Amino acid sequence: MPAHASHSGNRTLMTDPVFRAALSGAAGAVAVSDETANAVLELSDADLGRALKEQITRFRNPVDQKALHSPKAALGETDPTGVKVVPPSLPSKSRASGRLNMEALHAQALQERERMVAEKRLLDTSQMVKATGLTRQSLTKAVRTGRMFTVKVVSTPYYPAFYAHSQIDARILGKATRKLGDLPGWLKLDFFEAPNAALGNVSPLGALLGGRVEEVICLAEAYGDEAKDRAQAAADARNEGLNV
């Protein structure tokens, strides 16, 4: 299939009402528990997408469903059908209870974040001042006005290193960041760095390096608008509950 056809199909799927309803249902199920919702939001797009695809595949394939419920599943043995029965592979899930292991998820997230700091993908204030030539006051103002954002590792705020990238216009990055609105910092970081189907499985940063400025700006705006809509829907639901 030509690449452009695949990309067009991805965009069509994202606006399909049945698909959107399915996503809303899954999101609603996760959001029932604040603890689970926060843990899931800390997963990368890649990890979350991989887990979702695995579950969709199991639901679609009757053989996989049979294997999933086989007593041999816990041992990873071979089902009589010849299908290898593999137990769930996510270490953050308790196989005995089927519940997410919050401690494991948080430990994994912290380990990944500390690795990003060690690799200088995240820079503290002093490092960002040195890398960009901006003053601390200028950085603080950029964050306050939404042109930059920080993320916290333990209790220390860090700036994404891509704000110091010599080949990406800081003004364009600032505009895209503002379009993301009030999304949490880690979700903003994931937006910029994770491959995106709407961009042909290229990250927004990669797209900006390729000169696809308008596409990234429009995508960032769509993400920001969707976040506003979700926040408003949640506020309406809370108010409705109080008025009952």
Residue 176 has pLDDT above 60, yes or no: yes
Q: Tell me what pLDDT residue 108 has.
A: 87
Whether 148 maps to a domain, the answer reads yes
- What secondary structure does DSSP assign to 125-150, as a single string? HHHHHHHH---HHHHHHHHHTTSS--
What is this structure's pTM?
0.60
Average pLDDT of the chain to the nearest whole number:
76
Q: What is the count of structural domains for the chain?
A: 1
pLDDT, greater one: 6 or 225: 225
> In which domain, by residue range, is 175 found?
120-244
Token representation of residue 130: 């040195």
Q: Tell me what pLDDT residue 19 has.
A: 59
Kindly report the backbone phi and psi dihedral angles of residue 72, in degrees, each rounded to the nearest multiple of 5, phi listed first: -80, -5
Whether 40 maps to a domain, the answer reads no
Token representation of residue 28: 């609603």
The tens digit of pLDDT for each residue in 153-163 reads 999 999 999 99
The tens digit of pLDDT for each residue in 213-227 reads 999 999 999 999 988
The tens digit of pLDDT for each residue in 116-133 reads 999 999 999 999 999 999
Whether 6 maps to a domain, the answer reads no
d(CA 65, CA 72): 13
Q: Tell me what pLDDT residue 10 has.
A: 55
Q: Tell me what pLDDT residue 234 has.
A: 78
d(CA 115, CA 37): 24
46-60, 99-113, 180-194: range with lowest mean pLDDT:
46-60
CB of 212 within 8 A of CB of 205?
A: no
Share of the chain above pLDDT 90, in %: 47
Token representation of residue 20: 């959107």
Q: Tell me what pLDDT residue 109 has.
A: 86
CB atoms within 10 A of CB 7: 15
Whether 208 maps to a domain, the answer reads yes
Whether 224 maps to a domain, the answer reads yes
Token representation of residue 107: 């430990």
Whether 112 maps to a domain, the answer reads no
Residue with tokens 């220390």: 156
26-35, 75-84, 85-94, 171-180: range with lowest mean pLDDT:
75-84
Give the alpha-carbon dihedral of 238, 239, 243, 244, to 10 degrees: -30
Whether 104 maps to a domain, the answer reads no
Within its chain, how far is the Cα of 225 from the centroid? 16
At residue 30 the predicted structure's pLDDT band, cuts being 50, 70 and 90, is low
Q: Tell me what pLDDT residue 6 has.
A: 47
Token representation of residue 128: 């960002």
Average pLDDT value for residue range 112-117: 94
C-alpha distance from residue 108 to each of 115, 208, 234 (Å): 11, 30, 29
Whether 94 maps to a domain, the answer reads no
